Amino acid sequence: MSDSHSSVAPTGPPDPRAIEEARKHVRTYLIVGVALLCGTLLTVWASLINFGSREINIALALLIASTKGFLVAGFFMHLISEKKMIYAVLSCTVFFFAALMYLTIISMSHGSIVQIR
Amino acid sequence: MEIPYAVKPRPDTGLYNAKLGIWLFLASEVMLFGALFSSYILLRVNAEEGTWPHHWLNIWLGMTNTIVLIVSSVTVVLGWASLKMGRFHRYKFYQGITLLCALVFLGIKSFEYRDKFMHYEVHLKDGRIADGHLQPGTTKEKVVLEGRYVASHADLMEGKVHHEKEPILEIPRDQIVSMENYGPWHNTYTAIYFTLTGLHALHVLGGAIVIFAIWGPLARVWELDPERYTNRIEVSGLFWHFVDLVWIFLFPVLYLL
Amino acid sequence: MQPAAHTDARARAPHHAEPGFWRKYIFSTDHKVIGMQYGVTALLFMFFGFCLMLMMRWQLAYPGRAIPVVGRLLASVAGADMVGKDAAGHVGVIMPDLYNSFGAMHGTVMVFLAIVPLAFGAFGNFVTPLQIGAPDMAFPRVNMVSYQFYFLGGVIMLASFFIPGGAAQSGWTSYSPLATVTAAGQHPNGQTFWILGMVCLINSSLLGAVNFITTIIQLRARGLNWMRLPFFVWAQFVTAFLLLLAFPPLEAASVLQLMDNLLRTSFFLPTGLMVAGQAVHVSGGGSPLLWQHLFWFLGHPEVYVLILPAMGIVTEIIANNTRKPIWGYRSMVYSVMVIGFLSFIVWAHHMYLTGMGTRIATFFQTTTMMISIPSVIILTALFISLWGASIRINTPMLFALGFLPMFGIGGLTGLPLGFNASDIQLHDTYYVIAHFHYIVAPGTIFALFGGIYYWYPKITGRFMNEFWGRVHFALSFIFMNLIFMPMFVQGLEGMSRRMYDGGATYAESGGVVGLSKEIVGLNVPISHAAFALGLAQIPFIINFFYSIRRGRKADSDNPWGATTLDWQTPTPPPHGNFEKPMEVFRGPYEYSVPGHGRDFTPQNEPEGQEPSLHGNPVRS
């Protein structure tokens, strides 16, 4: 694909090191993309297999989803090389999300609720 | 005085303002969808045994949508990389595919929604339940469904993975006690399904509009300030990836489990 | 037209042509204008919320009697089913449904439309960029949109009073299934408006939070490292995080409740729900407790949103009027961060009576007890800051000093509520009302009043009248205590919240144990004190407007002799705040530094340039 010169920024062509960086990243993106597509097929296939207990299906689906999520977050969103400030914000978020989910569900699980007869 | 670090990163944090801003916003979105996922888990865990449906959604359409969003995520990030390399037209091409994928996703989603609204559970006076999709032959006197009869509501909880053609049922309206389609009101599963996917679809739409605006009408910013433009692509790309990330969890949770 | 030689320079440097009226005052992106927009709007809402309370207090003191003057007006707005006639035939008696809607909206308006927009939106917006040496917020246009969402949310909330069925009636907490079944025949009803209004307000806060956090992290001036930040900025920073991460679950819950109300879903409606003897035609399978968890997940951090900015304001005023550094600044900073963190994991102490089971209740009880520690540390540090100080008494300082014991009472009375066992007696009684009002009314609102008197000279170049300011303080202090102290007694005796008849139904009668006449009778002096509190605000309102043009002129840009950067600007600060980038050389409270000529050293004063001992001390 030929790029016309008029689309190059007025401040001059980008620094060749930046171009090489970007090219390396492109390879990574494509590999991750393929991995994500495989993961999708895998999770559908796994969901159709009967492992005996529902829990295994759930665990497997969440494992595959988490891996895919990690790939998107880590590589597409560049989290794997992000700054400390972003990590700090996200760690707090993850902790509070986990607290919301976990504490709410425990508070309302059948084992906890006081039966009033 | 101009606002510092709008384009160039601040040395000690290594971030430009909009990058921090979008991550903060995404943190709040994690809490938003997180609350909805927590609600899903809670409603499902506390549901009576045998009342939570399985395979009510077309997993092939869902899988297609998953693939569509993954492709769009790849093209978003390839578009950004193209800009980093100074190749504006290549970016335009990739981002165009992103927008196309967004349209396809929303189109498939609309089709799925319509399918649910056409799917009826009809309770008859003789105790049978007819369950199927509304057909064109429906009139004031009779309801025509493509579906099946079942003896009890519990029989409807297991859906089918592969859909074959089902018989046509003609039901006179005077035989009907009640009739309800599979909208959000049908049970808590459809309620949380429509809410989660509806909110997600709104985010897809919003993201697509912003990406389109930067790609189309605002493209001349590239000429004036390429770094600022590239940052906008990065920031909107982060939002788009988040939307993809949510779907990566939505799909197995709602369609497969 | 500019000659060609200038065009390049103009293209590079941002050129601000003088904006027209609309751009300058209505659609402004300047944080100071936006701060004042928030301030004015919030004060108007506070007045409105106060009036709702006055009408409720009339009903509590004189159940069944028509409200004088206002009663007829109320009847013409709300209709005959909401406003009835008393025994003498006068129109203007609040009916139970209207009382409930006043109660729900008093809480909603005060919390979401008055206090938070004033503490965070107004003070936060105006002062924060100035105190960190920034030209504006990181995202000025987003800031403008934040205000617009707030305004829209406020309009929706107000409009709900005028629709058939009236405003929301299910408490500011909007518990399901009540919030869904009330006025269910009406579409849209007050609850729907409440939900839509909340969605607007939540989005306003989320955008504001993103702006504040980014601004404080990214736009601090050179040399302004974290431990040199004024405590006010730290408080706003943590507050912004609370808003960012705690509001979204309520937004989610609001969407779910909206769907329950409009689309007949059953997120929060249990199976087998009966209303007025009839089964409700919904699918069931939902959980009312789910609403409570999602609501209180926001609800608890929200109360810290109410208090933290106030602590920030009080700290600034105390440092300035003691002429010495704040004692324990570092501890206060760590404490405010710990409060922010812990506030996310205490929420179910609002739900002790829902049958959660002892294990999880103990968890929340533990975290609740833990969070009292950093709060006490902050209060203690402020008290100790007074020790050995050369205390300068003026109106802002009176409010700041008043805040300390009042917040102390409010905080300490929270402890029996935080313990599961004692909460069984106190939950949903007037004790709770007294507890949180002590924190917000003679607590936060005192700090906000103090802040208004304190920063007034920076905005207008004039002081508010000192005599009337002290009158405002003294009367407010007395009457607030007269209102809320008796409520502790009522609550301990078991008087429930949200009772339209002020407890008459549960009063003792002929051998039946109930609320004593004295307890119910306390409603009368409490209401009188509330009316008097309203009157006590009149000098403040007059003072506020009168002093804009006629107040005593401030003799300099820094009339209080303050060290922080907000006072090192022209008055009022121009667009862009600072001529050139600021540089900071020291901490925020360098007062009375030995060897320096003045009793304060501004943060941005370069090293070695402090005036000698022969400089003039600053007048109060």
C395: how many CB neighbours lie within 10 A of its CB? 27
Segment C510-538 shows an average pLDDT of 92
Q: Is B232 helix (H, G, I), strand (E, B) or coil?
A: helix
Q: For strand B129-134 and strand B142-150, is the pairing parallel, antiparallel, or unpaired?
A: antiparallel
Specify the pTM.
0.93
Residue with tokens 């909208």: B183
- Beta-carbon contacts of C284 under 8 Å, excluding residues fewer than 6 positions away, are C266, C269, C270, C271, C272, C273
- Residue B132: domain span: 24-257
Describe the crossing of helices C538-550 and C466-492 by its angle, rounded to 10 degrees: 160
In chain B, the residue whose alpha carbon lies closest to the alpha carbon of C251 is B32
Q: What mean pLDDT is predicted for residues C370-386?
A: 97
Residue A58 CB neighbours (<10 A): 15
The pLDDT of residue A22 is: 81
Query: Given CA atoms A81, A86, A91, A94 in this order, what sign does their dihedral have?
Result: negative
- How is residue C421 written in tokens? 């066992």
Q: What is the pLDDT of residue C615?
A: 46
Q: Does residue A35 belong to the interface with chain B, where contact is any CB pair within 8 Å?
A: no
pLDDT, residue A13, reads 62
Which pLDDT does position C13 carry in this prediction? Answer: 45
Q: Would B173 be classed as within a structural domain?
A: yes
B 172-201 near C (Cβ less than 8 A): 183-188, 191-192, 195, 199
β-partners of residue B122 are: B130, B179
Inspect the interface and report whether the beta carbons of A33 and B70 lie closer than 8 Å.
yes
Which among B29, B47, B184 is the nearest to C263, CB-wise? B184
Contacts of C359 in chain A (CB under 8 A): 112
Please say if the pLDDT value at position B52 is more than 60: yes
Look at B31 and C580 and tell me if their CB atoms are within 8 Å.
Answer: no
CA distance C291 to B38: 12
Burial of C429 (0-12, 13-18, 19+ CB in 10 A): buried
Going by pLDDT thresholds of 50, 70 and 90, the confidence category of residue C563 is: very high
Which pLDDT value is given to residue C69?
84
> What single-letter DSSP state applies at residue C443?
I
pLDDT-derived band at A112, boundaries 50, 70, 90: low
Per-residue model confidence (pLDDT) at position B49: 86
C216 pLDDT above the threshold of 90: yes
* Surface of B (12-31) touching C: CB under 8 A: 13, 15, 17-18, 20-21, 24-25, 27-29, 31
Chain C: give the shortest CA distance to residue B250, in Å: 16
pLDDT for residue C506: 85
Q: What rounded mean pLDDT belongs to chain C?
A: 92
pLDDT score for A1: 37
**Could you read off the pLDDT of C572-617 as tens digits, one per residue?**
999 999 988 999 999 999 999 998 889 999 999 998 776 655 544 4
Q: Is the pLDDT score of A116 beyond 70?
A: no
CATH of the domain at B164: 1.20.120.80
The whole-number pLDDT of residue A10 equals: 45
**Least confident range of A6-15, C83-92, C541-550:** A6-15
Residue B117 lies in a domain: yes
The per-residue pLDDT for A7 is 39
Distance between CA atoms of B135 and B119, rounded to whole angstroms? 10
The arithmetic mean of pLDDT across residues B62-90, rounded, is 95
Of chain B, the percentage scoring pLDDT greater than 90 comes to 88
Contact between C347 and C299 under an 8 Å Cβ cutoff? The reply is yes
Q: How far apart are CA B130 and CA B127, in angstroms?
A: 10
Task: Give the pLDDT band of residue C160 (cuts 50, 70, 90).
Answer: very high
Instruction: Check residue C489 and give its pLDDT.
Output: 96
Give the residue among C387, C493, C481 at the shortest CA–CA distance from C443. C481
pLDDT for the residue numbered A54: 85
Residue C199 has pLDDT above 90, yes or no: yes
Contact A107, C356 (CB under 8 A): yes
Banded model confidence at residue B48, pLDDT cuts 50, 70, 90: confident
Rounded mean pLDDT, B22-35? 97
pLDDT over 60 (residue C120)? yes
CB interface of B with A, residues 157-196, below 8 Å: 161
Is C363 within 8 Å of A85 when comparing Cβ atoms? no
Query: Contacts of residue B46 in chain C, CB cutoff 8 Å?
Result: 287
Q: Is the pLDDT of residue A31 over 60?
A: yes
Name chain B contacts of A68, Cβ cutoff 8 Å: 248
pLDDT digits (tens, 9 = 90+) for C398-419: 999 999 999 999 999 999 999 9
Residue type, C55: M
Q: Say what the ipTM of the complex is.
A: 0.95
pLDDT (0 to 100) of residue A107: 86
pLDDT at C17: 67
Which token pair is A76? 């597409």
Higher model confidence: residue C207 or residue A53?
A: C207
Note whether residue B11 is domain-resident: no
pLDDT surpassing 80 at residue B175: yes
CB B254 within 8 A of CB B193: yes
- Look at residue C9 and tell me whether its pLDDT is greater than 80: no
Q: What is the pLDDT of residues B118-163, one digit of tens each?
A: 999 999 999 999 999 999 988 999 999 999 999 998 989 998 888 8
Q: Please list the residues that pair with B124 across neighbouring strands.
A: B176
User: Which whole number is the average pLDDT over C507-518?
Assistant: 82
8 Å CB contact of B30 and A21: no
B207 contacts in chain A (CB < 8 Å):
none
Name the minimum distance, in Å, from the CA of C201 to any CA of chain B: 15
- Residue in the block written with tokens 């959980």: C287
Q: Give the per-residue pLDDT at C73.
A: 87
Mean pLDDT within C54-64 = 94
Judged by CB atoms closer than 8 Å, whether chains meet at B93 and A57 is answered as: no
CA dist., res. C389 & res. C563, Å (int): 16
Alpha-carbon gap: C438 to the closest alpha carbon of chain A (Å) = 29
B235 assigned to some structural domain: yes
Q: Which helix (H) or strand (E) holds C59?
A: helix C31-61
In a domain, B89, yes or no: yes
Q: How many domains does chain B have?
A: 1
Which of C213, C251, C297 would best serve as a mutation to test chain A binding (most A beta carbons within 10 A)?
Answer: C297
Residue B100 domain-assigned?
yes
In total, the C-beta contacts within 8 angstroms joining chain A to chain C are 45
* Interface contact B257-A47, CB threshold 8 A: yes
pLDDT of residue C612: 58
Query: Are the beta carbons of C294 and C252 closer than 8 angstroms?
Result: yes
Q: Is the pLDDT of residue B5 over 70?
A: yes
- Whether B212 maps to a domain, the answer reads yes
Could you count the other beta carbons within 10 Å of the beta carbon of residue C548? 14
Is the separation of the CB atoms in C310 and C443 below 8 Å?
yes
DSSP H stretches of helix in A2-116: 16-47, 54-71, 84-108
CB contact under 8 A, B87 and A72: no
- Which residues in chain A are contacts of C340 at CB distance < 8 A? none
> Residue C515 above 50 pLDDT?
yes
Q: Do C285 and B51 touch (CB under 8 A)?
A: yes
pLDDT at residue C458 tops 60 = yes
